[in-house]
Structure 1
């Protein structure tokens, strides 16, 4: 596993907003852990992905939500999602 790689640390990404938040989280963690997203434990086993998507979705009128972020643990990483679409991943043992 990539947890002990020299590139370990934090990783941040803001992938195109057409990607779902769930996809961005999985992609960012998979890159940090140097494996395929298919190899990771399902994200929905850790957090309610529908609620997470809704929390950061645009309002009904299309405007963005106010500033905010949420952090949770996922497969050895702290994942922080911000309302601007940024997904930040940091190894738990840092």
Structure 2
């Protein structure tokens, strides 16, 4: 894991075969500097299948934001994931 002094972190672009839900969990774990297993289940915050389906739909100008484990996560249409700590 790495620690960043940035107020948010972005992971860019799509990774073929990697669900957006996996990228979200990894991005939050990296930002929080914890192991993925230390985070609560994503499904406690939203429906992972629905998130994957929305991102796979390739909707133009998509920007979906939600709270997860004390962080504000924003997913954009190009599968960029932004993570910032909630205040």
TM-score interval for Structure 1 and Structure 2 normalised by the shorter chain: 0.7 to 0.9
TM-score, L = length of structure 2: 0.86
Tell me if 1:68 matches 2:62. yes
SS in 1 for 2:26: helix
List gaps (5 residues or longer) in structure 1: 59-63
- Deviation per CA, 1:43-73, whole angstroms, max 9, x where unpaired? 0110011001000104xxxxx3312111011
Q: 2:37: which partner in 1?
A: 38
Correspondence list, 1:50-61, <5 A: 50-58=49-57
Aligned residues: 84
Moved over 3 A (4+): none
- Provide the rounded CA distance (Å) in 1 between the counterparts of 2:14 and 2:56: 14
Name 1:61's counterpart in structure 2. Answer: none
Verify the 8 A CA contact 1:56 1:83 in the aligned structure 2. Answer: yes
Q: Which segments of 5 or more consecutive residues in structure 2 lack a partner in the other structure?
A: none
Map of 1:49 onto structure 2:
48
Residues 32, 6 of structure 1: CA spacing in aligned structure 2 closer, same or farther, 3 A cutoff? closer
